[in-house]
Structures are given as C-alpha cells and as structure tokens.
Amino acid sequence: MEFGSDNQAGASEKILEIIAEANTGFTHGYGDDHWCNRAVEALETFFGHPLTVFFVATGTAANSLALASLVKPWETVLCHHHAHIYLDESTAPEFFTGGARPIPITRNAGKVTLRHLENYFATLAQEPPHTPACRALSITQANEAGQVYTAEELRQLCSFAHGHGLNVHLDGARFVNALVALRCSAAEISWKAGVDILTLGATKCGGLAAEAVIFFNRDLATDFAQKRKRSGHLISKGRFFGAQFVGWLQDNHWQELATHANTKAAELANALEEFPQITRQWPCQANEIFITMPRQLADTLHQQGASFYEWPSLALPRDVTLDKKTCFVRLVTSFLTTDEHISRFCTIIRNNAC
Amino acid sequence: MEFGSDNQAGASEKILEIIAEANTGFTHGYGDDHWCNRAVEALETFFGHPLTVFFVATGTAANSLALASLVKPWETVLCHHHAHIYLDESTAPEFFTGGARPIPITRNAGKVTLRHLENYFATLAQEPPHTPACRALSITQANEAGQVYTAEELRQLCSFAHGHGLNVHLDGARFVNALVALRCSAAEISWKAGVDILTLGATKCGGLAAEAVIFFNRDLATDFAQKRKRSGHLISKGRFFGAQFVGWLQDNHWQELATHANTKAAELANALEEFPQITRQWPCQANEIFITMPRQLADTLHQQGASFYEWPSLALPRDVTLDKKTCFVRLVTSFLTTDEHISRFCTIIRNNAC
Amino acid sequence: MEFGSDNQAGASEKILEIIAEANTGFTHGYGDDHWCNRAVEALETFFGHPLTVFFVATGTAANSLALASLVKPWETVLCHHHAHIYLDESTAPEFFTGGARPIPITRNAGKVTLRHLENYFATLAQEPPHTPACRALSITQANEAGQVYTAEELRQLCSFAHGHGLNVHLDGARFVNALVALRCSAAEISWKAGVDILTLGATKCGGLAAEAVIFFNRDLATDFAQKRKRSGHLISKGRFFGAQFVGWLQDNHWQELATHANTKAAELANALEEFPQITRQWPCQANEIFITMPRQLADTLHQQGASFYEWPSLALPRDVTLDKKTCFVRLVTSFLTTDEHISRFCTIIRNNAC
Amino acid sequence: MEFGSDNQAGASEKILEIIAEANTGFTHGYGDDHWCNRAVEALETFFGHPLTVFFVATGTAANSLALASLVKPWETVLCHHHAHIYLDESTAPEFFTGGARPIPITRNAGKVTLRHLENYFATLAQEPPHTPACRALSITQANEAGQVYTAEELRQLCSFAHGHGLNVHLDGARFVNALVALRCSAAEISWKAGVDILTLGATKCGGLAAEAVIFFNRDLATDFAQKRKRSGHLISKGRFFGAQFVGWLQDNHWQELATHANTKAAELANALEEFPQITRQWPCQANEIFITMPRQLADTLHQQGASFYEWPSLALPRDVTLDKKTCFVRLVTSFLTTDEHISRFCTIIRNNAC
C-alpha cells in the first residue's frame, strides 16, 4: 500500500540491467561517451526534433537549471500556486537563477489557464528597472493536481506566453504519465505546442536517478554546460545517465511503466468511488489522486501500513474548505503498484466504515 | 503641481546647510566620525532605546540589507501584495538575501492584517528542507496604500509574527509621515510594538540621500557591516549621512517637514471631494492619495503640467474594477508642496469638467 | 592503456550487485532509508567517531557544500595553487558559498606546508569589513600532485589553522588511496589530525557516483540539509547512495580497490624509470604519476591508443621550465588497471625511443 | 598632517555650491534630470567620445558593477596582487558578478605588465567547463602603488587583453591624478588606449560621493540599469550626482584639485629625501607615497597628531623584506593638504632623529 510517491519504488529491472551492461570497461568521463550519445539519439527519435540535451540526477536540478536558461536575475517566472518549483524545491529556483523571482498566478485552481495569464498581465506594473520584468512561464505535465494539459491547452498557453515575451518551461517529472493519458505523440505536447525547454524525468517512472534537460529552442542552451558544472551536476561517470535513458526509451519501456502506473491509479480511483466518506477533488488523469477523507480514517490507514501524504490545503479547489475532522490526501501509484495494494487499501476503508 | 513623488523635491535648506557645516576640514572616513556619532545619539534619543545603526544612501539598499539580516537564502519573507520591496525594488531582496523569497499575502487590501497572516499559516506546507521556511514579516509605515498602522495594529502583527518564529522589519520610508498622523511617540510604533528592524528614511522628507537601518533587536546586526561593505554601500565620506540625520532630528525638523506634507495631502484630498468624477480609494492618512479618475481628465492634467503617476490596478481595493476610460492614480505631497500647486490642480479639474 | 583518470573505470562488480540488491521494493525517499542508515553506521565504524553525514553524487558538490559550511560570503578559503576546488570545479566554490573567495597560497609546490601558511598570514592585510577575512583551509588527500600528507603534516596544518581561526576541509576524492599508502587508520588522517569536514569520495575508487560529506565537527552541519536540497543535490531514491557506501566499506572492499590502483601506479612508475627521456616530477605515492616527456613521444602514445592528459605547466615544480618539445603529463591508475596496460605502454615508449 | 586618505577631506567649496544650486525646486527622480544630462554631456566633451554613463555613490559599487558587465559567474578577472578590487572591497566583485573570480597575477610588482599577462596565459589550464575562463583585465590608474601607467603601457596591456578575449576595466578612483601627472588627454589613457569601461571617481578629489561608470564599449552596458537598481545603487534624488560632476568638470575644476594634491605629494616626497631613515619604495608619480620607516618613528608621528596608515607588507617590492623594527607606510595628499601639514610632519621627523 505504497502510495506516498512514485519515487519510493526503485528502478525497473530492465534499467538496472542496462546500467550493469554500460558499466563494463573504460569510457571517457563527463558524458562524453557512447551511452550518452545513444541516449541523445534516442531522445531525438522520441521527439522527432533535433535536440540539445543535458543529463542531471534530480528534478530540482533539472528544473532550476532550465529556469536559469530562461531568466536573468532581475526577471520573473510565472507558475502554478502549488508548482513543484514553488513549493517543493526550497528556493532552488532563486539559487540557480541568481535571484530571479517565481510568481504564482493561480490560486486553488487545477491548472494554469489563459485566464490566469490574462489577469496577471492586465494588472501588472511594468516600470523597469524598478519592477522585475516577466520573462518565463513554467508549467507542469502531468501537473501538481494530477491534471493533464491537452496539446491544445499547451498551444494556447505557449502562444500567449511567446506573445508577451516569455519563454516556456515544461516540468516533465511525470511527462510520460501525461503522454500515456493523452495518447498523443511526445512532439505534440512539447515543441509542437511551443515548449522551449522540457525537463524530462525518468526517475519517477522506472529510472534510478535520471533527468534530461531538453532544449527544443537550442539557442537557449548557450551557457548550460557552465551552469551544470558550476552547480556540481556534471557527474564524472556520465554513462550512468546515458544507460538509463537508453534503457527507458528502448522498446517503449517508458510506456509500459507509465501505463501500469496510470492504470493502477484509475483502478484505485474507481474503487474509491464506492466510499461516500471519500471525495475526489480533481479527476484522476495520470497517476495521482487527490481526495479528502475523515482524518480518523487516514489515521487508521496509516496505522495499518498504508503509506501516503497529507497535502497542504492551499492546494484545494477554491470552494472547498476543510473542517478539522477532514484531511486532504494525495495518493500516487507507480510501475510497482499491485492489485493487492489497492484491494488491501480498500478493505481497510470498508472495514473502518462499518 | 508636482505630485509624482516626494523624492522629486530636493533637500530642505536646513539640511543642506548642515551638510556644508559638516564638510569643513578632515575627518576619519567610513562613518567613523563625529557627525555619525552625533546622529546615532540623536536617534537613540528619538526612539528612547539603545540602537545599532547603519547609514546607506537608498531605501532599496536599506530594506534589502535589513531583510538580509532576518532570513537565510532558503527562507521567506511575508509582505503586502504591493509592498515596495515586492514591486518597486527589482529583485533586490533576492540579491541581498542570497535568494530568499518574498511572499505577498494580501490581495487588494489596504493593509496587512492578522487575518492575512492567519490564513497564510493555516494552509502553509511545512516540510523542510523541501519547503522554504517562513522567517520574517515586512510591513510598511506609512504603507503602500497611504495607510497608517496604529500602534495596536503593529503590536498584534508583531506578536503573531514572533509567535510563529518570524522577525519583523518595518519599511519606514515614510515613517515620520505616519508618526505625525498618529501623534504618538516613535517608540510606540517601533520597538514597543515589537519591530525588530526599522529602515528609517529621511530622503523622502527633506534629506538628500539618507536612510538609517536601525536595529532594536541588536543581535540581528552581527554581519551587517560586512554586508553593507560588500554591497558597496559603505560610503567613504560618511559624515555626509551623519550630518543629514543630525539636521533632520535637530529641533524636530523632521516633524515640521512631515507635518507640512501631510497637511497639504489632507487639503488636496479635501479639495478633491468636490469632484464627483474622482473617487478616493482609501482614506488619506499621511501624504499619499489614491484616486480613480477619467483617463481623459488625467491626460488633460498631464498636458497642463501636473506631475503624478498612474498606479497599477493590482493595487486597487478588491471590489473595484477599472473600465478602460478610468485610471487609477497616486498623488504625493512633500515638504515643498504649496497651496498654489493644489489650487491650480483643482482649477484644471474644474475647468475640464465643464 | 587508460591512464586518463580513475573515473574512466565504471563501478566495481560488487558495488553494482549491492545497488541491485538495494533496489528491490519500496523505501522512503530522500535518504530516509535502511541503506543510508547502514552506510552511516559503517562510516562511523570506519572512522571510530560519531558523524553527521550527507551523500551527494559529485565531488564538486561535496567540496563546495563543505566549503559553504565553513565560510560566509565575505570570507576566504586558503588552498593549494592547483587544488581541484581552484582549477577544476569552475567557480563552484563561489556559487555554493554565495561568493566567498578561494585563495591559492602555494606556487609550484607539491604540498601545502606550514611555511605557506605562515607566509600568508605574515603579510595579510586584516581590516574588516574592507578586507575579506580568512576562515578556512582546504587541503586534498591524496593531493593534486599525487602526494600524500602524513598524519603529522596534517596535524601541524590543522593546528596552525585552528590557531588562526580557520576550520579545515579535507578533499578526500582519493582519501583511500592515501590511506593505503600511509598504512594508518582513517581516524589518524582525519579527525585525530584536526580535520573538521571530510569529503570522502567512493566514485574514483569503485563507486558509480557516491560522495559523502562527513562532519567530524558536527556543529558545522546546521544548515547543510537546506543547502543540499536547495542546490538540487538531494536525490529522491537515496538508497542508491547508501548501497554504494555499504558495499564499499563492507569487508574492506575499498582497501582492495585502492591497493590495486596504488600498486599498479607504483609498478608503472617503476617501469618508467628505465626511460631517460621521461622525468618524474614528484614521488609516486598513491595512484597518480606526474612526468615530463618529449611531446613527440606523447603524441605517439596517444596515436597508439594510450589515454592520458597533458597537465597545465602551472603545476610544475618551481625549478622546472618546459621547452616546447617537452610536455607535462599525468598518468592515473585505477582498480581496473591491468599489467597489460602497463607493459603495452612501456613497449610503445621503448619502441619509440629506438 | 592628514595623510591617511584623500577621502578624509570633504568636498570642495565649489562642488558644495553647485549641489546647493541644483537642489532648488522639483525634478524628476532617478537620474532623469537636467543635471545628470549636463554631467553626461560634460563627460562626453571631456573624453571626446560618445558615452553610456551611470552614476553611483561609491567606488566599490562602481568597480563591482563594471566587472559585472564584463564577466559571467563562471569567468575570471585578472588584476594586480594588491588591487583595490582584490584587497579593499571585501568580496564585492564576487557579490556583483554572481561569483566570478578575481585572480591576482602580479606579486610585489609596482604595475601589471605584459610579462605578467604572458606568464599567466602560458601556464593557464583551459578546459571549460571545468576551468573558469579568463574574460577580463582590471587595472588601476593611478594604481595601488601610486604608479601611473603611460598611454603606451595601457595600449599594450589592452591590446594583449583584447587579443586573448578579455575586456578591460580601468579603476579610475584617482584617474585625474594620473591625468595631471601624464599631461595627456583623458582620451589617450582611456578609450584610445583600448579601455572598455572606466570607473571615474570624483570622490577622492573634491567630490562628496560621486563615481561614474563610463562605457566606451557601449554594447557592454545592456543590463547595467537593472544591475544598478537591483543592488540599491539607483538613488532617487539623482541630481545630487549630476551636480557634482557638472561642478567637477566645469572650468577644469578637477585639474586644479588634482594638481594641488599631486604637487603636495611631490613636495612631501622631496622633503622626505632628506631623511636617511626613510626609504621610498616606488617613485611618487601621483598623490601617494609609499615608504618604509622605523616603527618607533611612525609611533612618534602618530602620537604627535599625524594621520596615515601602515600598509600590508604583501605590497612591498619583491626584494624588500621588513624587520620588526621597520614599518611600511602609505602617505596620501589631497586638495586640502597644506604646506604646513608637510612642514610639521618633517619637523617631527627631524626632531625625532636627533
């Protein structure tokens, strides 16, 4: 009953095997090796676009380095009110950008919408050098509320952004979960929609520690190698990253893993429909479920071995207020989630309800 | 008809004279001189409290260095949605703090209230090191909407802040305008209310370039001298700052200057009551007036030589929406504002209305 | 004939196996897991001292985060003129410390000596806040010239440092190579000698990507968790680091690997004695050899498949000057170096000399 | 007998008067005023070149902001071993550049020479992104040893720098003292010699607090306005700076002031020739004198009211070593130095010698 986070699972067998394969013998260090080259080629095939790619070990590094390619220290990045870059990565965006400012523009909304952007610009003070200038939009796919942006939604957001002088960063920690949900091509929800930089995470979906910062807009990559090195994110035995991405992309391994996670989430969400004391707050679109439930039930579940996190009420939809007996909870499934996890979880709820 | 900002007036005659007096002969540099010592003594008398004081040339430097004494780079500062530190000082707070995050917690409100703080903490995610920890509250007196916090309001805010582990910074760019409005002692709206650091500005009220960062909580000052030097804000001929503060505090010169500015604001606000096409958005409490007026009228005023700024609609009270024919405007009076400025301004409005 | 760097070898078989073992099933993320706990215990046994330990993926991150625990942004770190932190890690020390300054105090010397420190302090200007204050000493073991500091040398350096208000960082990227060379305990060349923080690298000696920042002086660790997260160095699947260190320390696996590397270096150094056209510049004490050789010979070796790097002449001993026909070269052996690598390398030289 | 620093004198009478003149009435704030415009025009005439100019209050701010226009955070600035930017401005260069590295390339030399640059580049490791790239040269005129670079010397240094991809910053805190010494045009020792950015100080020579950052290479100024605001160096009552530079340049007032200072230095240096116990370490070329003298004599002078600073022995010429009874001293003259200062100083020495 491990619904805490998709990073509580290890790496997939297949990815471990390819790491072992890549480990043999000598290579050049620092990413200048056969495996990294193969990984970049595989990514170019995956996206159908020439790419500039850099690998790092964590999502925080990937996101922050991407933002540092978009804004100067006196500029701002618009984001969702509970974006990972805003709430869960300390002040890493400020650290890597040299002090640029993330500005949340939604509140209690499932997704960033055109309306949020329009409102923001309608009331914005623009008096440089006094006011920081807005220069980037960062969105997450699948997002902080487990929601998936359609290709059309992304196109509209990117188009508005570009029209207002902003470049667009897509935080793709769960990009493949969105991809599986949308049944479209990777291209349609990235460069074709107008995304400039994608941070593509394999870690949450079968990798060990593997994130790729992918520049569709390759001019933005100019200083990236310097920034990565200087922040300690250039690993010496670089083939470790290359191998993971080769394995992840080979034979659509990513798809198999993400499909499993999404399917289990859908099944769990479905099963929870049965319980009137549980309310789902947003549709389950990828591999995350956001629900409210009696606090006493949550306690029971924890006591009986279920793993999941209470979520900040800041993230609740606008019209929902929480009384003290109720709590807001996130459930995440992964490539390792089993039917038994789900059925045991439901059994506890069923027994508790009686 | 100069209502653009109180910094469009020069220094008062008296302050210029004392600068000239202090200029004679040799002194030690870098603030280690007779005039700076006298200024600190005068400030201690003014506040009735032992102080650690540092002088700098700008409000942005004063505020940012004060914040850098309160938060570490992975912490946050709560503030008003249109605080000067948030909207008008570029990303200086981030620069000086090494990347700490200012977080606005009001929206369309005249003042920061206890309710804002309570709401913020009620929904706050607190999972260090993932989430940045909240460590300071910054308020402005008189504030961004021309409003004045009473001693009791400040006490409540400071008490809540201290109870939640935050230290309090007071941006006192117009502190003396508030003081004159409240008819209380400087102590009552600073250390007695719980303020830890005050940035006291003389520049907007008769000084040439003179801001004092005042530590009531002197333990917080440990590294300030290093931070001031390192940011280029330690001037060599330090007596220039000392002399200004000596002159400003001597014989309550500040009071005379601030009283003039406030009085002229009240008179102007009063005079504007006559015009139905002009709506005041907040009470005029110090030396700033916030009004909406027909855009066409604003244009006419500008053409006929009036100086004032349109204000971002972000700062409007919650229930006010602006149509395209209306604009939101700030008027500021200073120690140089004359009756004639006011009467000419009103005459133009009167003539235009016909 | 891979003598380019010890990071051109992959991980040892045994370490890969333990990574696979640790990978099974679910754990908590972010280092809060069984494997990390076991690794810390193993390190405490290894050093015979209670420790505060943090794991990261790269030496640059480990070193820079360690330095950020020692100095404030207006302070300085003394180091060797060709220290890795000074020459090979971009300006990462400045990035992580918020702009503190590394100051090299040797020139053309194999090691940092007491004499270097004494000379530096004898002529130092100390006028804070104008002059940056010296607050840390960083040394490398085994060092940038392949030299090993004895326990006694370390004791003297640390004692001088502490006597002058400096804390001591030891860059232990090749700590175990030094340990094997000295045949002493880990304690003797770390906390017993006075080292405050050690960055212990497994990567260069059989790990995949595993560095431990080890605080003997645990008070210095206060903000480390925040700094690691904020710089993107807290990996989610933390057991990956724990497993590597468990495997590396178990049954003295590190010793076996380091002994092999050092032995091969000694054998290679010995074999090169035969060739008059090759001059060794420092004694071979661990697993690095620094030599000068005819540039034409270096070219031939490269052409015939040998891998090694030319080294900056900055690092040459004081009295050696290089003519254009000669080049300065570093050879590094690793746990994967074979006798055949050495004999083929020597054969090429022998044939070329004829 | 005030020979401590030229910043221990106040402003000249004439400059105070023009500040008072400029102070009357209202102007726009933030440097958008008549006086700043006039100052820029006067500077363009002075240099005979179109300029982009920004004013700030301190030399540290001027130098650091200039360097921040030349290097990225992962690049380096070459400078003199006892450059003001290296020894006397805390770690301000690192703060403003976001962590670029100043690298001193002389040792115990009076000036930076071509030889220093050649040596540095001859042994430089250049392996980006591992090694920080060298991108700027900063020299001081008149320099840290009171020496003046001839136009030809500057040309050679700038030419070498540009040929190696470096832009050139000239720290002109005492530029006019050099100018008077060289009897050439301002153009010849700035843009004509190849200088890209000059920080021109009026403060040490009759100003109150007035430094101009002057871009001859105007493309480098792109982000300067943002950087100045963000570091708190955009003062609101900007005419204060404009007026000082107008007064300083008008009728060659700067020349009168600098000539006085230089003349008094020459007279003092001459007078000191009489005393065998005093040794001048470099020629007196502008308004600074560097001497060694018995420590007992220095103590006597201090006791009898002379003001001057002991200088770090780091700055001594290579072949001079200091015994404990001798001290190294800097004497600085200013526009306020009188004949009586000099004769009293010499009288004390004479009496003491008996």
pLDDT tens, N- to C-terminus, chain B (354 residues): 899 999 999 999 999 999 999 999 999 999 999 999 999 999 999 999 999 999 999 999 999 999 999 999 999 999 999 999 999 999 999 999 999 999 999 977 889 999 999 999 998 888 999 999 999 999 999 999 999 999 999 999 999 999 999 999 999 999 999 999 999 999 999 999 999 999 999 999 999 999 999 999 999 999 999 999 999 999 999 999 999 999 999 999 999 999 999 999 999 999 999 999 999 999 999 999 999 999 999 999 999 999 999 998 888 887 888 888 999 999 999 999 999 999 999 999 999 865
- CATH number of the domain encompassing residue B150: 3.40.640.10
Residue B291: C-alpha distances to residues A60, B322, B337, D136 (Å): 44, 12, 19, 51
For residue A319, what pLDDT is reported?
A: 82
Q: Which residues pair with B9 in a beta bridge?
A: D26
DSSP string over A15-84? HHHHHHHHHSSB--STT-SHHHHHHHHHHHHHHTS--EEEEES-HHHHHHHHHHTT--TTEEEEE-TT-H
- For B17, the enclosing helix (H) or strand (E) is helix B13-23
- Nearest Cβ partner of B237 from D4, D203, D307? D203
Residues A332, A208 share a domain: no
| Exposed/middle/buried for residue D76 (C-beta within 10 Å: 0-12, 13-18, 19+) | buried
Residue D353: pLDDT band (50, 70, 90) is low
Q: Which residues of A touch D28 (CB under 8 A)?
A: none
What's the confidence (pLDDT) of residue C354?
A: 54
Asked which of A226, A251, A276 is the last residue of a domain, the reply is: A251
Question: Does the pLDDT value for residue C71 go beyond 90?
Answer: yes
Tell me the three state secondary structure of residue A209: coil
Do A156 and A76 fall into the same domain?
yes
Contact B128 C228 (CB under 8 A): no
| Interface test mutation site (partner A, options D28, D74, D126, max chain A beta carbons within 10 A) | D74
Considering the domain architecture, whether residues A64 and A90 belong to the same structural domain is answered as yes
Dihedral angle sign, alpha carbons of residues A203, A204, A205, A211: negative
CB-CB under 8 Å, C130 with B73: no
Any domain includes C219: yes
In the prediction, which pLDDT does D1 show?
86
**pLDDT tens, C87-135?**
999 999 999 999 999 999 997 788 999 999 999 999 888 899 999 999 9
Which of C318, C279, C311, C290 lies closest to C108, judged by CA?
Answer: C318
CATH number for the domain spanning D262: value is 3.90.1150.10
Which residues, 6 or more positions from C6, have their beta carbon under 8 angstroms from its beta carbon?
A: C174, C204, C205, C261, C287, C332, C333, C334, C335
On whether residue C2 sits in a domain, the answer given is: no
In a domain? residue C302: yes
Q: Are residues D22 and D109 in the same domain?
A: yes
State the DSSP code for A164.
T
Domain extent for D202:
12-252
Q: Are D103 and D239 in the same domain?
A: yes
Q: Which of D129, D227, D234 sits opposite A229 (nearest CB)?
A: D129
Looking at the structure, tell me whether residues D258 and D122 fall in a common domain.
no
Mean pLDDT estimate for chain C? 96
CA distance B118 to chain D (A): 31
Averaged pLDDT, C279-297: 96
At D37-77, the pLDDT tens digits run 999 999 999 999 999 999 999 999 999 999 999 999 999 99
* Residue A354's pLDDT band (cuts 50, 70, 90): low
Q: Tens of pLDDT along A187-225?
A: 999 999 999 999 999 999 999 999 999 999 999 999 999
Please identify which residue in the block is written with the tokens 């807005």: A134
Q: Which pLDDT score is estimated for D307?
A: 95
What long-range pairs does B302-310 form, CB within 8 A, spacing at least 24? B304/B348, B305/B1, B306/B1, B306/B3, B306/B345, B306/B348, B307/B1, B307/B2, B307/B3, B307/B4, B307/B8, B307/D26, B308/B3, B308/B4, B308/B332, B309/B4, B309/B5
CB pairs < 8 Å spanning B and D = 156
The domain boundary, picked from D232, D252, D272, lies at D252
Contact present, B334 and D26 (Cβ < 8 Å) = no
Q: Decide if A242 contacts A33 (C-beta within 8 A).
A: yes
Task: Please indicate, yes or no, whether residues D75 and D185 belong to a single structural domain of this protein.
Answer: yes
| Average confidence score pLDDT of chain D | 96
Percent of chain D with pLDDT over 90: 92
What is the pTM assigned to this prediction? 0.97
Q: How far is CA D202 from the centre of its chain?
A: 10
Which of D230, D335, D338, D344 would best serve as a mutation to test chain B binding (most B beta carbons within 10 A)?
Answer: D230
Q: Tokens in use for D310?
A: 């002991």
Express each pLDDT in D171-197 by its tens digit. Answer: 999 999 999 999 999 999 999 999 999
Tell me if B91 and A101 make a contact (CB, 8 A cut-off): yes
Residues A219 and A275 in one domain: no
Instruction: Please identify which residue in the block is written with the tokens 């300030």.
Output: B224
Residue B5 lies in a domain: no
| Amino acid C58: pLDDT | 98
Find the mean pLDDT for residues D256-266: 98
A311 lies in a domain?
yes
Whether residues C231 and C155 fall in one domain: yes
Q: Is the pLDDT at C55 greater than 80, yes or no?
A: yes
Query: Is A156 in the same domain as A281?
Result: no
ipTM: 0.96
Instruction: Judge whether C148 lies within some domain.
Output: yes
Task: Look at residue C54 and give its three-state secondary structure.
Answer: strand
Radius of gyration of chain C (CA): 21
Same domain, A207 and A221: yes
pLDDT, position D123: 84
Report how far residue D338's alpha carbon sits from residue D343's, in angstroms, rounded to the nearest whole number: 9
| pLDDT for residue A173 is more than 90 | yes
User: Would the CB atoms of D129 and A73 count as touching at under 8 Å?
Assistant: no
Euclidean distance between CA atoms B189 and B201, whole angstroms: 15
Mean pLDDT of D4-17: 94
C4 domain-assigned: no
> Are A211 and A290 found together in one domain?
no
Is residue D90 one of the residues assigned to a domain? yes
DSSP B200-216: EE-GGGT-SS-EEEEES
- What mean pLDDT do residues D98-111 have? 92
How close C46 comes to chain D (CA, Å)? 32
Single residue among A251, A269, A301 that ends a domain in this structure: A251
Which residues from chain B sit within 8 angstroms of residue C126, using beta carbons? none
Number of structural domains found in chain A: 2
